[in-house]
């Protein structure tokens, strides 16, 4: 073991340094505390604490105190009979609660009520001894509520106390201190009665009147990883999480024969059994989890998040069931720090807002509000760490980087004190605070700093302090500054009778209660340590077969500690076995952004690349890591396997491209660097002869595999600056009349560019055609539509929640359809490969939005029940990939450094479609009021009125009533219903209906019935209407800003732009529109097309329309629409345009 403790200190102590003691600094104004004095032992509680609450008296050290008992003699399990067959999996979120159980709906309601009712009975008597001794060989059983049993338990407890008091007289002080630490662990565990009341009867008994037992009470360690006994009912379910959040702690839940750890992956808490290679996912948060904590007995897990609809969820670690959910605990911005008390009865949360709020919760109570809360001044800094006093749950300490705060709560209030500490206090650099901890044998507290020092806090009552302030927490003061090392400390905690520190160099050091160094580990060669978690199991005693390291004390006795888990900021998790100092690396994941994922075309392999240069290949069926390569100093942005699975191409943020052997990850050829910016997209042709990339500088670069000197090798062909806005997609296809590849690129400039690869040559990339495929919307993604229709299509999705089918040859828009609308537009789409057993006419599409992953049944027709989506990465999903068999999809989380594997259940998706109804039923529900609403009746009236209009209003001929209207009447009925398409959109609508049967019959359609019109209307109308914000944005672009900050357009400029820009309006059309809106034609214009008399129109327009027009004047004064309130949330609401005005889009 390397000794790194002899480093030269930054400052020498005033009183010298004796033995292994750390140097100390004492404030100059301190009285009665010489600089060489070690932290004194405090064995008495302040009088105010004793008088305030008898519950705190258990930490007083007296000769009459019953001796503590080892935590091993206690059990928190209510029962461990054979595991019940029915398992419960509940996902608690802000909008839904998903329960997969075998009981019926009525039983589920009864179970929920039982949970709510029994929570009220928890923790009624906090002064009761919290555990009952049991023989280790005796299987725990459920305790019935009987008086005789209570008397037996009391008698056993009295006999144990008498025996322990007798043994206590024979113990020296050192043994007493050691056993006191074990007593703390025993007191931390919930009593059997408390757990029994928490464990609501969930599993119903088949016999009437039989005693019900909950899944929580029946749960045992390891139950989570038994085979699933319930049917998955969701179309997409999380199967595995690759990577984790290295900025949050990793906890050890089980050790020895089962090595189980807990960590966070995005919005999911992952319980990972290392030996059995299985994961269990605690899902319920809709935002990324920001903090977590675990009870001392590892039974209860608390997680919290930040963002809208934030939650605090307490989970049972044995069964995975959420036993308590706290909604809107901090509605401002969520939770920034959380901790659970030693007895597991109380939670403390610290808000993440600008003004932080500290709340104390008795989570076993159904009360939805905290017991106490207090707001902290922003000057204290962002408090990012908080912890309970293990010996007194009414004391807490938190710290930011610059301020430590002490708290004390009683039955009436929560008080806090923020003692000052600056560099001038000790005339030495203090540094930034990292973590704080209470002393395990006295009333002091310690704080670690970035200068490698420990601040010692104690209660001080100088004569100058008033009596009202000479009580906790107001009398806490920094009494010493202990220099322990030169490197910054990142972790400070206590385990048994040791203080443990970790630093930025990956070193771990152990100190006794006098802050004397006992042992250290400095040879692991780790990065900055983020957390350390000790095993729940106490260490094994030293024996002839053990191999504990020796402590660095004079006696050199074996250094016996628990096994522990380390996690670093470099995203590495390690397990250290103290007996023999064995180091096992459990995980080594990406520590920076993960955007690059791709799946092998014929094997269950996935390649994952990150910005830290780490490239890893996994067998995703066995969830086994296979091979990796690190590109030093480079950031991987995108990956792609070729269709044969021989090559793996990687694009980097510096513009370089590597083509690797897919098995060994060795370079197949030299590095290419022809891109002008970071490579964002990379793709192979179907025959693996071409490779194309797109970069952030709007360029497309093509590489070709050429025959050179009798061998094929990759060469740079050409590049082209083909777009003027970011490129969203590049895809290869196959020409319809040959087997030659074709290449297309799609950009935010609304251009679809096809390249002529056959005519391209060295340094010349030919373009076959350019097509503008959108008028106002921005295309987001591109894919080849599967061959389930006679016509070949290109599928696109835009930012207005529309999906469009374009003829692959003519580029004519053949269909516009309402796409999935789950809060944000589609970012990427991918057609799932067809399974061997699947109907070839049934195909499916996977997609991602800003934060969700979803499935869509093909063909697309606008039916919302054909789509389903789930939150996958609340912080933003960056990429999507699908397995070669179409059974799994993978999502990359970008900044959350994780990749999620999702299992697809197509039967559940098809079931949802069946439940949604057939034919027009799903579309009726999308109309305001449904099939029986007023809106539908108006639509019928307009539909029949259009028949009259097409035959002539004034005709005297016999009327021909039918169920169809001519195509020419479609725009008029659309406008009558409040949807005002542009002329280009009208042309697309007419063509969509006209050529809908042309491929099958060779004939054009000339009319449309009511059912098809409803589908057409729903698919083409705006997904959410027109919002006030859109109108304001238009004025911001077209107008100018005044001194008051308003965006206005001059009247003449508005009239000029309507006639000259976008789809031009003639002077007559503009005059008719405006005079109708202003009330000159109160009957709404003409029923028949003809000449319009515009006399007096100019004077009316000049009189009614002001010289300067704002967005509000245009909306309310001209269009006649209600103007929403100025509140930000109101401006986001959608207000459909119901006035009769033509749309003039630019």
The 10s digit of each residue's pLDDT in 366-414 is 889 999 999 999 999 999 999 999 999 999 999 999 999 999 999 899 9
- Residue 1075 confidence (pLDDT): 81
**pLDDT greater than 80 at residue 88:** no
Here the contacts of 771-774 (C-beta below 8 Å, separation 24 or greater) are 771/811, 773/746, 773/804, 773/806, 773/811, 773/813, 774/750, 774/798
Query: Is the pLDDT at 176 greater than 50, yes or no?
Result: no
Confidence band of 707 (pLDDT split at 50, 70, 90): confident
The yes-or-no verdict on residue 1093 having pLDDT over 90 is no
Confidence (pLDDT) at 214: 79
Q: Cα(788)–Cα(791) distance, rounded to whole angstroms? A: 9
pLDDT of 170 over the 50 cut:
no
Answer yes or no: is pLDDT of 193 > 90.
no
Between the CA of residue 3 and those of 484, 549, 667, what are the distances in Å? Answer: 14, 13, 42
Using the predicted structure, report yes or no on whether residue 345 has a pLDDT greater than 50.
yes
CA 226 to chain centre: 27
Q: What is the pLDDT of residues 992-1049, one digit of tens each?
A: 999 998 888 889 999 999 999 999 999 999 998 778 888 888 888 888 888 888 899 9
Lowest-confidence range among 8-17, 290-299, 712-721, 1104-1113?
8-17
**CB half-sphere exposure, 687, CA atoms < 13 A:** 13
What are the Cα distances from residue 720, in Å, to 680, 697, 698, 715, 1122? 15, 10, 9, 16, 49
pLDDT at 211: 46
Question: Alpha carbon of 812 to those of 533, 777, 807, 808, 809: distances in Å?
Answer: 62, 16, 5, 8, 8
pLDDT beyond 50 at 150: no
H or E, element range at 339: strand 335-340
> Average pLDDT, stretch 214-228?
79
Sign of CA dihedral 66, 68, 73, 79: positive
Q: What is the pLDDT of residue 955?
A: 62
Q: What is the pLDDT of residue 228?
A: 61
- Lowest mean pLDDT: which of 655-659, 665-669, 710-714, 827-831? 710-714
d(CA 609, CA 892): 10
Tell me the whole-structure pTM to 2 decimals.
0.80
Q: List pLDDT tens digits, range 716-773.
A: 999 999 999 999 999 999 998 888 999 999 999 999 999 999 999 999 999 999 999 9
User: What three-state secondary structure class fits 326?
Assistant: strand
Of 553 and 321, the structure prediction assigns the larger pLDDT to 321
Average pLDDT across the chain, whole number? 80
The arithmetic mean of pLDDT across residues 656-668, rounded, is 95
DSSP 654-721: TS-EEEEETTT--BSS--B---SS-EEEEEE-TTSSEEEEEETTS-EEEEEEEEETTEEEEEEEEEE-
Between 364 and 200, the higher pLDDT residue: 364
H/E stretch holding 174 reads helix 173-188
pLDDT of residue 1064: 82
Q: Using alpha carbons only, how large is the chain's radius of gyration in Å?
A: 36
For residue 204, pLDDT over 80 is answered with no
| Calpha distance 546→548 (Å, rounded) | 6
Q: Which helix (H) or strand (E) holds 1112?
A: helix 1111-1112
pLDDT digits (tens, 9 = 90+) for 521-573: 988 889 999 999 999 988 888 776 777 777 777 777 888 899 999 999 999 99
If you search the block for the tokens 């093509």, which residue do you land on? 702
Per-residue pLDDT averaged across 653-679, rounded? 94
Least reliable range by pLDDT among 519-533, 632-646, 758-772, 1083-1097: 1083-1097
- pLDDT of 34 > 50? The answer is no
Per the DSSP assignment, residues forming a β-bridge with 260 are: 254, 273
More confident residue, 129 or 655: 655
Confidence at residue 435, expressed as pLDDT on a 0 to 100 scale: 96
* Poorest-pLDDT segment among 223-232, 246-255, 414-423: 223-232
Minimum mean pLDDT range among 75-84, 337-346, 834-843, 982-991: 75-84
Burial class (CB in 10 A: 0-12, 13-18, 19+), 889: buried
pLDDT at 207: 38
| Distance in angstroms (rounded) separating the CA atoms of residues 471 and 187 | 26
- 663 near 619, Cβ under 8 Å? no
Q: What is the pLDDT of residues 487-515, one digit of tens each?
A: 999 999 999 999 999 999 999 999 999 99
What is the model's pLDDT at position 256?
77
Band (pLDDT 50/70/90 cuts) for residue 294 is very high
Q: Which of 226-230, 294-298, 425-429 has the lowest mean pLDDT?
A: 226-230
* 265 in Cβ contact with 245 (< 8 Å): yes
pLDDT at 683 over 70: yes
Would you state the pLDDT for residue 735?
Answer: 92
Helix (H) or strand (E) holding 594: strand 594-599
């Amino acid at each position: 073991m390397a000794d790194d403790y002899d480093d030269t200190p930054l400052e020498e102590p005033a009183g010298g340094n004796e033995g292994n003691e750390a140097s100390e600094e004492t404030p100059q104004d301190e009285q009665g505390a010489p600089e060489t004095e070690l932290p004194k032992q405090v064995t008495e509680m302040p009088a105010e604490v004793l008088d305030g609450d008898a519950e705190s008296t258990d930490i007083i050290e007296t000769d009459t105190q019953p001796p503590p008992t080892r935590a091993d003699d206690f059990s928190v399990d209510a029962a461990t009979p054979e595991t019940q067959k029915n398992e419960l999996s509940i996902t608690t979120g802000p909008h839904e609660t998903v329960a997969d159980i075998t009981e019926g709906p009525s039983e589920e309601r009864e179970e929920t009520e039982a949970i709510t009712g029994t929570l009220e009975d928890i923790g009624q008597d906090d002064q009761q001894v919290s555990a009952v001794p049991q023989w280790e060989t005796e299987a725990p059983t459920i305790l019935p509520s009987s008086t005789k049993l209570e008397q037996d338990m009391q008698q056993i407890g009295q006999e144990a106390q008498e025996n322990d008091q007798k043994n206590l007289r024979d113990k020296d002080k050192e043994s007493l201190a050691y056993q006191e630490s074990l007593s703390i662990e025993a007191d931390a565990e919930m009593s059997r009665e408390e757990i029994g009341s928490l464990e609501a009867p969930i599993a119903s008994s088949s016999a009437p009147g039989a005693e019900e037992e909950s899944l929580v009470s029946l749960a045992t360690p390891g139950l989570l990883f038994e085979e699933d006994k319930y049917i998955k009912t969701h179309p997409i379910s999380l199967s595995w999480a690759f990577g984790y959040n290295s900025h949050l702690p990793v906890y050890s839940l089980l050790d020895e024969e089962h090595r189980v750890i807990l960590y966070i992956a995005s919005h999911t808490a992952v319980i990972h059994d290392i030996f059995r290679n299985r994961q269990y996912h605690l899902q319920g948060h809709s935002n990324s989890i920001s903090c977590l904590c675990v009870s001392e007995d590892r039974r209860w897990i608390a997680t919290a998040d930040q963002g809208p609809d934030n939650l605090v969820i307490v989970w049972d670690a044995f069964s995975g069931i959420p036993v308590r959910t706290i909604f809107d605990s901090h509605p401002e911005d969520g939770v920034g720090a959380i901790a659970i008390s030693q007895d597991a009865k109380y939670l403390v949360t610290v808000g993440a807002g600008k003004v932080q709020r500290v709340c104390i919760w008795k989570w076993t109570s159904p009360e939805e509000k905290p017991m106490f809360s207090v707001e902290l001044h922003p000057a204290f800094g962002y408090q990012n760490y908080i912890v309970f006093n293990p010996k007194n749950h009414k004391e807490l300490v938190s710290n930011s980087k610059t301020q430590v705060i002490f708290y004390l709560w009683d039955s009436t209030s929560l008080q806090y004190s923020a003692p000052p500490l600056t560099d001038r206090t000790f005339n030495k650099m203090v540094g930034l605070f990292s973590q704080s901890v209470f002393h395990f044998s006295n009333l002091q507290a310690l704080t670690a700093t970035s200068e490698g020092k420990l601040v010692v806090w104690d209660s001080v009552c100088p004569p100058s302090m008033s009596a009202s302030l000479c009580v906790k927490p107001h009398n806490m003061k920094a009494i010493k500054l202990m220099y322990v090392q030169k490197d910054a400390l990142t972790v400070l905690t206590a385990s048994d009778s040791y203080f443990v520190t970790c630093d930025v160099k990956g070193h771990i050091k152990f100190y006794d209660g006098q802050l004397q160094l006992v042992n250290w580990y400095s040879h692991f060669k780790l990065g900055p340590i983020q957390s350390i978690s000790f095993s729940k199991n106490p260490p094994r005693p030293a024996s002839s077969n053990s191999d504990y390291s020796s402590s660095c004390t004079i006696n050199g006795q074996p250094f016996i500690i628990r096994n522990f888990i380390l996690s670093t900021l470099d995203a590495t998790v390690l397990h250290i076995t103290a007996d023999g100092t064995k180091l096992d690396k459990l995980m080594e994941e990406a520590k920076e952004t993960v955007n690059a994922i791709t799946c092998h075309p014929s094997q269950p392999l996935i390649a994952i690349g990150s910005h830290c240069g780490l490239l890893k290949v996994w067998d995703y069926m066995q969830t086994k890591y296979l091979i990796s390569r690190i590109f030093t100093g480079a950031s991987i942005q995108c990956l792609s396997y070729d269709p044969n699975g021989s090559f793996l191409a990687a694009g980097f943020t510096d513009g370089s491209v590597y083509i690797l052997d897919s098995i060994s990850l060795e370079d197949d050829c030299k590095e290419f660097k022809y891109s002008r910016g970071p490579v964002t997209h990379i793709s192979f042709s179907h025959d693996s002869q071409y490779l194309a990339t797109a970069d952030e500088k709007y360029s497309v670069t093509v590489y070709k595999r050429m025959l050179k000197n009798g061998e094929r090798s990759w060469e740079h062909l050409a590049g082209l600056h083909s777009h003027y806005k970011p490129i969203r997609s590049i895809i290869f296809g196959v020409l319809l009349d040959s087997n030659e590849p074709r290449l297309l690129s799609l950009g935010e400039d609304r251009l679809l560019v096809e390249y002529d690869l056959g005519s391209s040559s060295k340094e010349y990339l030919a373009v076959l055609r350019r097509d503008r495929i959108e008028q106002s919307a921005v295309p987001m993604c591109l894919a080849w539509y599967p061959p389930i229709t006679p016509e070949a299509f290109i599928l696109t999705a835009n930012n207005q929640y529309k999906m469009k089918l374009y003829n692959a040859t003519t580029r004519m828009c053949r269909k516009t359809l309402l796409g999935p609308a789950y809060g944000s537009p589609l970012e990427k789409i991918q057609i799932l490969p067809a399974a061997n057993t699947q109907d070839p006419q049934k195909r499916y599409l996977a997609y991602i939005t800003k934060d969700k992953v979803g499935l869509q049944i093909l063909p697309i027709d606008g039916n919302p029940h054909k789509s389903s989506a789930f939150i996958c990465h609340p912080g933003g999903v960056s990429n999507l990939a699908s397995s070669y068999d179409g059974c799994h999809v993978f999502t990359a989380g970008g900044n959350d450094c994780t990749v999620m594997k999702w299992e697809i259940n197509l039967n559940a998706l098809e079931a949802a479609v069946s439940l949604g109804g057939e034919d027009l039923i799903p579309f009726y529900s999308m109309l305001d009021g449904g099939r029986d609403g007023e809106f539908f009746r108006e639509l019928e009236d307009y539909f029949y009125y259009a028949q009259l209009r097409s035959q002539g209003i004034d005709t005297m001929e016999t009327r021909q009533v039918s169920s169809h209207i001519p195509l020419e009447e479609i725009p008029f009925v659309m406008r009558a219903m409040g949807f005002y398409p542009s002329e280009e959109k009208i042309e697309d609508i007419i063509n969509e209906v006209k050529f809908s049967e042309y491929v099958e019959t060779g004939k054009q359609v000339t009319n449309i019935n009511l059912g098809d019109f409803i589908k057409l209307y729903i698919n083409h109308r705006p997904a959410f209407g027109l919002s006030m914000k859109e109108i304001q944005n238009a004025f911001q672009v077209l107008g100018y800003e005044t001194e008051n900050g308003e965006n206005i357009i001059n009247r003449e400029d508005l009239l000029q732009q309507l006639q000259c820009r976008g789809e031009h309006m003639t002077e007559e059309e503009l005059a008719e529109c405006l005079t109708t809106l202003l009330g000159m034609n109160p009957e709404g214009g003409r029923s028949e097309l003809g000449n319009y008399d515009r006399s007096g129109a100019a004077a009316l327009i000049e009189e009614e329309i002001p010289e300067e027009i704002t967005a509000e004047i245009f909306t309310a004064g001209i269009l006649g629409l209600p103007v929403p309130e100025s509140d930000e949330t109101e401006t986001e609401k959608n207000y459909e345009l119901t006035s009769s005005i033509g749309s003039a889009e630019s």
